[in-house]
Amino acid sequence: MKKREQSSLFLTLDSLVPLDHPYRKLDQLLPFSDLSQSYQSLYSPNGRKEKGFEFALRALIIQFMEDLSDREMERYLQENLACKWFCDMHLGEKAPDHSYFGDFRKRLGTGRLMDIFTQVRNSLRGMGLIREIFTFIDASQLISKLTTWDDRDRAIKEGLEQFNNETAGKVAADKQARFGCKGKNKYWFGYKEHVSVDMQSGLINKIAATSARVTDAQGFRHVCPNGGAVYADKGYGLNPVKTVLKCKGCHDATIKKNNMKEKNRDKDRWLSEIRAPYERVFAHRNKKIRYRGLMKVQFQVDIRALVFNLKRLMTLGVGRITLCHT
């Protein structure tokens, strides 16, 4: 019998969690035990060996679903009964120390997390939920921790005339972060998130993180689908994007720049109306990143994409994901 079903003070943890709680739907949606079989040796050794990989994966998903820091996750797991139930804990069981969550992220790594995302994504393709017939592509800024003024002072102290993308790697706290620009006067320091969304289901198909200096058109190749029509804003109306679309056999439904001969304002207005509902992928998302370095930022981007898809699947009423082991 699972620990969540064992009684404590004449109560069971299962009886304290409402039947319609979202965590119950999430528990049924993703086959955690099947997904965890290949990674059982990766769980943290610090005090919870009996829990294994499945416990750590469940805690990781809840942490990013609720947008919690490691210390906040420790408290949330200790105080929230639904979270304890979801992670299969005793009613009076103590949550692990906050260092447990960071240790698990290191053990899991970006590569293995991407394998999990890909396995779930391929399963959704097998279920017909991601079909790559109509794809929305866009990019969003990821803002690094605001140490820019300290970095500038460090550049001055080291005798550098300017603090820009050429010198950031020498003095910035995050050596891989760079300055990015959106439009003419919107600057940020950090990274960029590139996303492709299946327009029929609203699920994220591909995801990538790059330096902020990488343009939307340069990052397009990381998230281009393998076919169908691709809808994107005028930042993608450039020759490199056209080349990738042609190689992949995709239909070009990008909005054209104003100085292009093929510009058709009526058509572009219609394309903008089609794209508008899928901007919700970036709405209400925390654009600040918690970690430093491109690999760690890619980890954050991957787990957020997985969590987004799980939330979307619950909204669509999908009962359970059938894993594809190919």
**Residue 239 confidence (pLDDT):** 85
| Global pTM value | 0.87
CA distance 191 to 187: 11
Q: pLDDT tens for residues 272-286?
A: 787 777 776 676 677
The pLDDT confidence band at residue 91, using thresholds 50, 70 and 90, is confident
pLDDT-based confidence at residue 209 (cuts at 50, 70, 90): very high
- Assign 248 a pLDDT band (cuts: 50, 70, 90): very high
Asked whether the CA dihedral 83, 86, 92, 94 is positive or negative, the reply is negative
Calculate mean pLDDT across residues 16-45.
84
Q: What is the pLDDT of residue 168?
A: 72
Residue 35, pLDDT score: 84
- Res 310 pLDDT > 90: yes
Helices (H), 127-229: 148-157, 168-171, 216-219
What's the confidence (pLDDT) of residue 149? 65
Q: What is the mean pLDDT of the chain?
A: 85
If you search the block for the tokens 């609203």, which residue do you land on? Answer: 202
User: Do residues 130 and 169 lie in contact, with contact meaning Cβ atoms separated by under 8 Å?
Assistant: no
DSSP, res 288: B
Q: Quote the percentage of the chain above a pLDDT of 70.
A: 88
Q: What is the DSSP letter of 284?
A: T
Identify the residue with better confidence: 325 or 94.
94
Q: What's the CA angle centered on 156, arms 150 and 157, to 5 degrees?
A: 90
* Range from 49-53, 260-264, 274-278, 317-321 that averages highest in pLDDT: 317-321
pLDDT band at 1 (very low <50, low <70, confident <90, very high): very low
Residue 61 confidence (pLDDT) above 70: yes
Res 244 pLDDT > 80: yes
pLDDT of residue 124: 94
Tell me the per-residue pLDDT of 104-119, one tens digit each, with 9 for 90 and over: 999 999 999 999 999 9
Structural domains of the chain, with CATH:
3-108 (no CATH), 128-289 (3.30.420)
pLDDT-derived band of residue 44, with 50, 70 and 90 as boundaries?
very low
**Residue 14: pLDDT band with limits 50, 70, 90:** confident
pLDDT of residue 64 exceeding 80, the answer is: yes
Which candidate, 81, 125, 298, places its Cα nearest to that of 227?
Answer: 125
More confident of the two residues 234 and 203? 203
Return the pLDDT at 205: 95
The total number of residues written for the chain in this structure: 326
Q: How do residues 182-193 score in pLDDT, each as one tens digit? A: 877 788 888 999
Which of the pair, 128 or 176, is modelled with greater confidence? 128
pLDDT on residue 206: 95
